[in-house]
Structure 1
Amino acid sequence: MKVLDNAQWVEEHFSNCDLGDPRRNKRLQTVAKNMLDAPDQSLCKQNTKWSDLKAAYGLFNRPEATLDSIASSHWNKTRDTKPGRYLLISDTTDIDHFSHKATTGLGMLGSGVGRGFQLHNCLMYDCDNEQIVGEAGAILFKRKHVPKDETRTQRLKRYRESSLWGDLVDRIGPSPEGSQWVHVFDRGGDSFETMCHIVRTGDDWVIRASRLSRKVIDNRGEKVSLRQAVGNAMRVGTYELSLRSRPGVKARTATMEILVAEVTFPRPSQVSPKIRSFGIEEITMNVVVVREVNAPKGVSSIEWVLLTSLPAATLEDAWQVVSDYENRWLIEEYHKVLKSGCNLEGHSLRSADRLEAQIALTSVIGVRLFQLKLVGRNDQTAKARNRIPHAWLRCLAVYRPKLKLTKLTVYEFFRQVANLGGFIGRKSDGEPGWHTIWYGFQKLQLLVAGMELADTKKA
């Protein structure tokens, strides 16, 4: 994967945006470049020129600046995958703007005390190259108060948070020819309705089950609870899992067993009119169970029940399903990047519409921050001179004169960048996180800017 400099990256991911005016499109790229140079700062500190700051506020105030119009260029680029295997990892995160009392048009969060948005988005991961491709799509949702005496029929007729999962699947669409897409959801995405949407795309899924009490049809044709079907699952293998210590629980090596079963989910008796129109009466799938054997006394044993359209006849098949679900942490880490690395909740714009535009831009910028971590970790043998911008290597050589750039790999380059951000790099330190990589990257960008300024003055 060739790493672009900031200006090139912004051009590649925002050049096809259409905000109704070429000047507005160009302004978006300027605001995006300034945000990328200082993602955790306020708009004032990102746009240090008054003309740039005024342009940023003007851009976010335009009705044409929406989540879709700003991020769709990046989404389309992400979804245009080359042949290969990809995970589409989705989840919802709360964006809390409760502290900004003057902001209007926000929805409720939690029990109604918080104010803000729910961002439901999808991160695409390239399994073959172990890299983040980008954000494949997103929906912003504002939760409203509902009547306490609402009936189930009334609830099914209105738009619900559970509908976000299936609607985002529809917006993303089916995989291009030659690509295998696997949707990976946590328990929030476990519903017959969501699976119907994926079935219609022809793609695959791995979803952690949320309700083991639901009725399914087992491989003998009997109607049983999912818990009973899991109890009759066939064991295909075991493995050992090293668990880190956590409050009240010591570190341990857990013995895990993997079991598989096939079940059929019948359509619930009450579904939304949209799902009824699909005409899907039942969905047959595999269940892969991962659970701890002989957990220590007083410790809750680990158990995952994973629902999947993927094969699960052998240990190798089941292990693939488990591995896919284990990558779900990527979306959680991405949301941390948005909130702490990009200060997503810190901007105090005066209306929900303006915040929507700012969130759209930030969600794409956050991809850049997160990508750098995995590029450095997984591209360990490629030579840096073939993948890294020359200006970055030139500045690093000035800062680290003993480095031999001709032998430097991409992996070593990013460890050097992390070192600029405070990463010590001892044997016991493991791999640098995105925080230290990004802090070092910002320092490197200052060096690059200084060197470019000096070159300009010489000319």
Structure 2
Amino acid sequence: MDTEAIPDLPEVDELSTWLVHELHDMALGDKRLDRRLLDTGAKLAARPSVSINQACADWADTKAAYRLFDNAKTTAEKIRAPHYRRTRERAQGHKRLFAIQDTTYLNYTHHPSTKGLGPIGTAQQNLSGIVMHTSLLMTEQGLPLGLAGQAIWVRPPTMHQRTADERRKLPIEEKESSKWLQALQQTQAVVPPEAQLITIGDSESDLFELFHQARTLETDLLVRAAQNRSVCAPEVGRLWEVMGRQAACGQLQVLVPARKGKPKRQASVTVRFAPVSLKAPRHLRKKMGDMPLYAVLVQEEAPPAEDPPLCWLLLSTVPVHRFADAVERIRWYGLRWQIEVYHKVLKSGCRVEKAPLAGVERLMPYLALFSIIAWRLFWMTLVARHAPDVPCTLVLAEHEWRALYAFHHKTQQVPARPPTVGQVVLWIARLGGFLARKSDGPPGVTVLWRGWQRLTDIASAWLVFHPS
């Protein structure tokens, strides 16, 4: 890691080591500004749930942080650029990668003094905020490698003045749904060319233009169908009816995540699949031909009385020739839930909607920085499940794991050999209130971000008493 380009960089132990590695080659256009971003970013990463005032050491540091986000050179694009490079480095060697795309809305209605916000939600809700669309790169096992693309924007105040029909007739370039196409191009620039890239999206991503772009770029898609499109081959009819006529090829048990007060549950589903050729919408037929895809219909036949039946119709560019292929596509789509957990970390763990910044121009770089911090918290939660036996130096600096070991074991005798990732993540979770009972399962993101903040204070005290 080259840190010579950043003047007066303090000892790495005084900063978040991982953040220095992640952003060390940034180029904001002023080396002092680069140094300030690392310093401020380290303080925010150490205490992601608190305000800027609480995270900074004193009033001078606090003013410097606000000036950092107010500086025209501190742009969201420049902050994300080195992180994209690290994401690409982590992606090396993987034969297959998944880009999970999703949109979230950041609500700043409770900050009326923040200037430049736009409408979110419906016209009746009268909410103000920012729209964020993120592409999160993941391994086939579900480990997040980093962001592969992100766009943050403000909707125009006149957005709700157009009718739904008027918005539908706009070209894709003038629609907000173009975010899916732009993110697909962004992701391709991050992923190594030798890896198979499969972009996954929910029903909002069921856009004929997106399938056309994926065919043009020679990349793969897996999306949940929303449109009952016309099928022209090998059968003729509407998509849902055509798939309903296919013979069931097997049954499967799938996990339905908890939603809106309902606990997670197992669902028994029937699986059907078939190749389909979708006819282009009438206004696109001159530019785009029929679209050959593979469809997988997942239906719950006997849901609980109080729950709606689970029903997914998945469309993919990746061939499905047998039941095992269909099961694999269903498992891939199950990864999509991870980006919703990531957004939970960003909103609840990092509390970005609480930021009292004066305007959107300051919020953009702030959100870009916290998007990287939130990825790190999320990654640390999952890496313990994927690689529990590797040395903890993968996730902690030396003074951090030594302080954690001494605090957890209530001893001053720290071993020369570092513990494993699985061990330290469990100890951090216990700092955050995790009970580690047999029935508890692995720790989640909430207890980890609570524990991480406590570890920061413990590690700072360790440095005071062990300066060597």
TM-score, normalised to structure 2's length?
Answer: 0.88
Q: Residues of 2 paired with 1:109 and 1:95: CA distance? A: 8
Q: Which amino acid is the alignment partner of residue 442 of structure 1?
A: Q
Local SS of the residue matching 1:260: strand
Alignment identity in percent?
28
Match among 432, 441, 453 for residue 430 of structure 1? 441
Q: Residues of 1 paired with 2:324 and 2:211: CA distance? A: 24
**Structure 1 segments unaligned to the other structure (5+ residues):** none
Asked if 1:369 corresponds to 2:377, the answer is yes
Q: Residues of 1 paired with 2:217 and 2:30: CA distance? A: 34
Q: Residues of 2 paired with 1:194 and 1:234: CA distance? A: 29
Query: 1:235 corresponds to which residue?
Result: 248
Asked if 1:95 corresponds to 2:81, the answer is no
Q: Residues of 2 paired with 1:454 and 1:250: CA distance? A: 47
Query: 1:341 corresponds to which residue?
Result: 349
Q: Residues of 2 paired with 1:246 and 1:139: CA distance? A: 27
Query: 2:200 corresponds to which residue?
Result: 184
Alpha-carbon distance change, 252 to 47 in structure 1, aligned in 2, over 3 angstroms = closer
Local SS of the residue matching 2:282: coil
Query: 1:24 corresponds to which residue?
Result: 33
Match among 249, 264, 269 for residue 256 of structure 1? 269
User: In 2, are the aligned partners of 1:187 and 1:207 still within 8 Å (CA)?
Assistant: yes
Q: Which amino acid is the alignment partner of residue 82 of structure 1?
A: Q
Alpha-carbon distance change, 450 to 181 in structure 1, aligned in 2, over 3 angstroms = same
Q: How many residues align?
A: 445
Residues 178-226 of structure 1: CA distance to partner in whole angstroms, max 9, x if unpaired? 2111101001111101222222322211100112x22122324x3x111
- 1:36-435, aligned counterparts within 5 Å? 36-80=45-89, 81-84=91-94, 85-112=96-123, 113-128=126-141, 130-144=142-156, 145-146=158-159, 147-148=161-162, 151=166, 155-156=170-171, 159-173=174-188, 175-211=191-227, 213-220=228-235, 222=236, 224-241=237-254, 254-271=267-284, 279-297=287-305, 299-384=307-392, 388-401=396-409, 408-435=419-446
Q: Which amino acid is the alignment partner of residue 309 of structure 2?
A: S
Alpha-carbon distance change, 376 to 319 in structure 1, aligned in 2, over 3 angstroms = same
Local SS of the residue matching 1:135: strand
Q: Which amino acid is the alignment partner of residue 422 of structure 2?
A: Y
Alpha-carbon distance change, 76 to 409 in structure 1, aligned in 2, over 3 angstroms = closer
User: In 2, are the aligned partners of 1:166 and 1:195 still within 8 Å (CA)?
Assistant: no
Q: Residues of 2 paired with 1:218 and 1:168: CA distance? A: 30
Local SS of the residue matching 1:381: coil
Please report the RMSD computed on the Cα atoms of aligned residues, expressed in angstroms.
Answer: 2.7
Alpha-carbon distance change, 252 to 392 in structure 1, aligned in 2, over 3 angstroms = closer
User: In 2, are the aligned partners of 1:255 and 1:292 still within 8 Å (CA)?
Assistant: yes
Alpha-carbon distance change, 157 to 316 in structure 1, aligned in 2, over 3 angstroms = closer
Residues 273-313 of structure 1: CA distance to partner in whole angstroms, max 9, x if unpaired? xx97xx54232110011111233556422111001111211
Alpha-carbon distance change, 18 to 200 in structure 1, aligned in 2, over 3 angstroms = farther
User: In 1, are the aligned partners of 2:167 and 2:175 still within 8 Å (CA)?
Assistant: no
Alpha-carbon deviation of 1:30? Answer: 1.2
Q: Residues of 2 paired with 1:12 and 1:250: CA distance? A: 39
Alpha-carbon distance change, 33 to 411 in structure 1, aligned in 2, over 3 angstroms = same
Alpha-carbon distance change, 246 to 33 in structure 1, aligned in 2, over 3 angstroms = closer
- My pick for the range that moved more, 151-160 or 178-187, is 151-160
Q: Residues of 1 paired with 2:283 and 2:52: CA distance? A: 48
User: In 1, are the aligned partners of 2:98 and 2:198 still within 8 Å (CA)?
Assistant: yes
Query: 2:43 corresponds to which residue?
Result: 34
Local SS of the residue matching 2:451: helix
**Structure 2 segments unaligned to the other structure (5+ residues):** 1-11
Alpha-carbon deviation of 1:408? Answer: 4.3
Alpha-carbon distance change, 189 to 398 in structure 1, aligned in 2, over 3 angstroms = same
Q: Residues of 1 paired with 2:155 and 2:315: CA distance? A: 28
